[in-house]
Amino acid sequence: MGIPVYLAWLSVVVFIVMVIYRFSKFNSMPLHLRWEIYPLPLEPKHHYGGSYMEELDYVPKPRHHIRINGILDMASEVFLLKKVREYNIYGMWPFSFSMHWGIYLLFVWMILMLAEGVLNLGVIAPVTNVCGIIALIVGTFGSLGLLLKRISNSELANYTVPVDYFNLLFMLSIFATGLISWITTGQYFFDDARAFLAGVVSLQPAAVSSWTVAHFTLFELFLIYMPFSKMLHYIAKYFTIDKVFWDDILNLKGSSIDKKITSQLSGKLTWSAPHIVQGKNWAEQVGIIDGRDIK
């Protein structure tokens, strides 16, 4: 019974370290060319998709972003899956929405239980229990629904590879073991869950039902696995949205962007097409009309 307790600590450490590592890897990628797309929620003219480039002589004019609009827009995607709901024709939204909320609430449930134990907040126990049950029900419904959807719809199946099914099965197994544990042990499930977490905190493994152990062990393995999988997309999404689709910052002489780009232009190219001269850097390439004149 001790392994899941020690695994819990390991999983949390691996999860945090890997998320930070991945975030910093994404963040340290080279500054890219501008590739924004409209409507751009940070733009004051976002309500009709406009931008500062609609104005004459915009370069020296002051510009500002409305950060709260960006936060609200991103929140509507994270919490409501707005675009899936509006545009997905395969009926994925109810399942995807449920699965995502299952995950959010699962984390909230764990945190609430820890808070109860550590801060002696027994008063919130009913809320904690409801949160846990909702997480398990909607999570099971969502992950099972998505799994069946991907299997049964040939258009989706064409693009779904075994690891995608594995990820969904993994999710399903976490929720389903929790749900089964609750169904089979009733109110004792919550006591078991709290006892398990208390055991984790104190490094004193508690005797709990095997379904509960399975549920928590799978969750711990999920924490370890997730940063290595596509399920880390919530971090990637921050970059694709905020750092690519919403990046409309002008390059001005002497700015930090200017310095970064100037540095990146010093990199040498080895592309092999005839019009490119291998070994010259970006800045040197610009001065050449056609690589064939030099080769």
Partner 1 sequence: MANGRLRIKDISRPGDDPLVFMNMSELMPVPNLGEEPSIEPTPQKFIDKYEMSLDGHCSIGIPKPKTKEEEDHLVRRFLSGLEKLFNSEESWTFQQALRLSFDYCVKCQTCSEACHAYLASGRQEIYRPTYRAEILRRIWKKYFTPEGKLLGRFVGADVDVNWRTVTRLAELGHRCTLCRRCAQRCPMAVDNALIARELRKLFSQELGIAPMEILEKGCVQHLRVGSSTGLNPPGMLDTVAFMEEDIGDRIGKKVKIPIDKKGADILLIHNAGEFLSWPENPEAFAILFEAAGISWTLSSEPVAYDAVNYGLWNDDVELARVAARHTLAAKKLGCKKVMIGECGHATKAYVVIADRVLTGDLSSSEIQRESCLPLLWEIIRSGAIKFDPSRNNFPVTLHDPCNMVRAMGIVKPQRLALKAIAPQFREMTPNSVYNYCCGGGSGYAIIQSFNFPQWRNKAGARMKMHQTLQAFKNELDPNKVPFKYLCAPCSNCKGTIRDAITHYGLWDKYNLNYGGLVELMVNSMVDIDRPFIEYEDFH
Q: Footprint of partner 1 on residues 57-116 (CB under 8 A)?
A: 57-60, 77, 81-84, 87-90, 92, 96
Q: Considering only the stretches 56-64, 128-136, 197-205, 216-224, report the one whose residues sit in contact with partner 1 under the rule CB under 8 A.
A: 56-64
Determine if 271 is a binding residue for partner 1 (CB under 8 A).
yes
Q: How far is the CB of 72 from partner 1 (least distance, A)?
A: 16
Query: b/e string for 237-247 if b means 16 or more Cβ within 10 A?
Result: eeeebeeeebb
Amino acid at 60: P
Task: Give the residues across from 268 on adjacent strands.
Answer: 281
Among 221, 233, 216, 210, which Cα is nearest to 99's?
A: 233
Q: DSSP letter at 240?
A: I
Of the pair 185, 285, the CB lying nearest partner 1 is at: 285
Q: How far is the CB of 65 from partner 1 (least distance, A)?
A: 13
Of the pair 45, 65, the CB lying nearest partner 1 is at: 45
Of the pair 8, 40, the CB lying nearest partner 1 is at: 40
User: By CB under 8 A, what part of segment 144-203 binds partner 1?
Assistant: 154-164, 166
Task: Yes or no: say if 266 and 281 are a contact pair by the CB < 8 Å rule.
Answer: yes
Q: Considering only the stretches 8-16, 175-183, 195-203, 239-247, report the one whose residues sit in contact with partner 1 under the rule CB under 8 A.
A: 239-247
Of the pair 202, 281, the CB lying nearest partner 1 is at: 281
**How many residues belong to the site for partner 1 (CB under 8 A)?**
88
User: By CB under 8 A, what part of segment 1-30 binds partner 1?
Assistant: 26, 29-30
Burial status of residue 205 (CB atoms within 10 A of its CB: 0-12, 13-18, 19 or more) = middle
Cα(9)–Cα(224) distance, integer angstroms: 11
Strands (E), 90-189: none
